[in-house]
């Protein structure tokens, strides 16, 4: 009985150390980087305060190895927002370039004209380029 108990504990220890690897080859994130927002879709350019509107952004990613990571959403003043999108890159084999949509839910808590600036990369002089959209909140 003692040998059976020791064998059971040994098997449990082995399973604990080998059974914890639930990652697949290629899914390790190697880095994150800004990705330019190619286009923006705002459903309504006028909305009510305290309602929610979805703003979609579209960017290009390399299939199988890149994807949407998140946004930097900066309140530069009361009514201006600067949005930069980020992508992750994994160690998986890459494929073709594909366009993918991501979204922001905008819920204003005051009235006014809000200006959104979406990062669209850099120009030849190395300056940031922005896609601008205005939303009137009443």
State the Cα–Cα distance between residues 16 and 23, nearest whole angstrom.
15
**Domain 27-137 CATH class label:** mainly beta
Instruction: Pinpoint the alpha helices (H) of 71-133.
Output: none
State the Cα–Cα distance between residues 62 and 79, nearest whole angstrom.
34
Helix (H, G, I), strand (E, B) or coil at 21: coil
Helix (H, G, I), strand (E, B) or coil at 81: strand
Choose among 72, 75, 82, 76: nearest CA to 117.
82
The tens place of each residue's pLDDT in the chain, 138 residues long, gives: 666 565 665 655 555 555 444 445 557 889 999 999 999 999 999 999 999 999 999 999 999 999 999 999 999 999 999 999 999 999 999 999 999 999 999 999 999 999 999 999 999 999 999 999 999 999
Give the start-to-end residue ranges of the domains of the chain. Answer: 27-137
């Amino acid at each position: 009985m003692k040998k059976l108990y020791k064998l059971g504990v040994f098997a449990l220890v082995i399973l604990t150390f080998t059974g914890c690897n639930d990652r697949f080859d290629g899914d390790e994130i190697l880095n994150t980087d800004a990705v330019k927002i190619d286009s923006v879709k705002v459903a309504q350019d006028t909305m009510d305060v305290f309602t929610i509107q979805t703003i979609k952004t579209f960017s290009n990613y390399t299939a199988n190895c890149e994807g949407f990571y998140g946004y930097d959403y900066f309140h530069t003043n009361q009514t201006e927002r600067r949005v930069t999108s980020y992508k992750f890159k994994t160690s998986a084999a890459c494929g073709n370039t594909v366009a993918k949509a991501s979204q922001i839910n905008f819920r204003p808590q005051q009235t006014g004209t809000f200006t959104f600036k979406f990062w669209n990369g850099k120009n030849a002089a190395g300056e940031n380029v922005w896609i601008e959209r205005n939303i009137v909140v009443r």
